């Protein structure tokens, strides 16, 4: 039997279904550097100060776009070219016509598979207010 994300496009999901797709990996809260010439994105291990480092969830989710003006509230429009999202992001995968990975909580039934598969940022990051130059924090474990 197919699951809801396999049966219907993102545009037809309920708000609850849409939100449930987020695996709480936290990778989208990593600060990034962009090469102005090529547009290439480089991830750092620096995270927004508002992130809860235990559960990888925003502590001010409802107010985040006011408190952090460049924080993106993801919409279908943003997924037309989701180059700035990590390649494992559920929203990016589905918008690219791919399925969710086996470690995704909706597939595994266990939120801990995100960390066990090496896809959580938990324990691997530093908050923005304590970080020095972001160029010193470039990482290769997120693409």
Which position among 47, 91, 103, 120 is part of the footprint of ligand SF4 (CB under 6 A)? 91
Phi, psi of 94 (to 5 degrees): -70, -35
> x/- site string to ligand SF4, residues 66 to 85, per CB under 6 A?
-------------------x
Instruction: Give the C-alpha distances (Å, rounded to integers) separating 140 from 64, 86, 88, 126.
Output: 27, 12, 14, 15
Which position among 5, 27, 43, 103 is part of the footprint of ligand SF4 (CB under 6 A)? 27
C-alpha 90: how far from chain center: 8
What is the total count of residues that contact ligand SF4 (CB under 6 A)? 12
Which position among 5, 13, 26, 100 is part of the footprint of ligand SF4 (CB under 6 A)? 26
Q: Does 25 bind ligand SF4 (CB under 6 A)?
A: yes
Token pair, residue 97, equals: 């016509």
Name the one residue in this structure whose structure tokens are 């010193």.
136
Minimum distance, C-beta of residue 81 to ligand SF4, in the bound complex (Å): 15
Q: Does 48 bind ligand SF4 (CB under 6 A)?
A: no
Q: How far apart are the first and last CA of the chain?
A: 32
Measured from the CB atom, the residue of 87 and 136 that comes closer to ligand SF4 is 87
- Binding region for ligand SF4 (CB under 6 A): 22-28, 85-86, 89-91
């Amino acid at each position: 039997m197919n699951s809801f994300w396999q049966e219907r496009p993102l545009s037809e999901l309920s708000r609850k279904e849409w939100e449930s797709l987020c695996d709480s990996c936290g990778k989208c809260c990593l600060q990034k550097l962009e090469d102005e010439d090529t547009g290439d994105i480089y991830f750092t291990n620096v995270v927004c100060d508002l992130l809860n480092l235990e559960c990888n969830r925003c502590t001010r989710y409802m107010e985040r776009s006011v408190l952090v003006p460049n924080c993106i509230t993801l919409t279908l429009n943003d997924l037309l070219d989701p180059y700035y999202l990590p390649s494992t992001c559920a929203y990016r995968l589905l918008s690219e016509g791919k399925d969710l990975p086996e470690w995704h909580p909706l597939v595994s039934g266990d939120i801990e598979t995100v960390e066990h598969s090496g896809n959580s940022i938990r324990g691997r990051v530093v908050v923005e207010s304590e970080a020095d130059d972001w160029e010193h924090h470039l990482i290769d474990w997120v693409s």
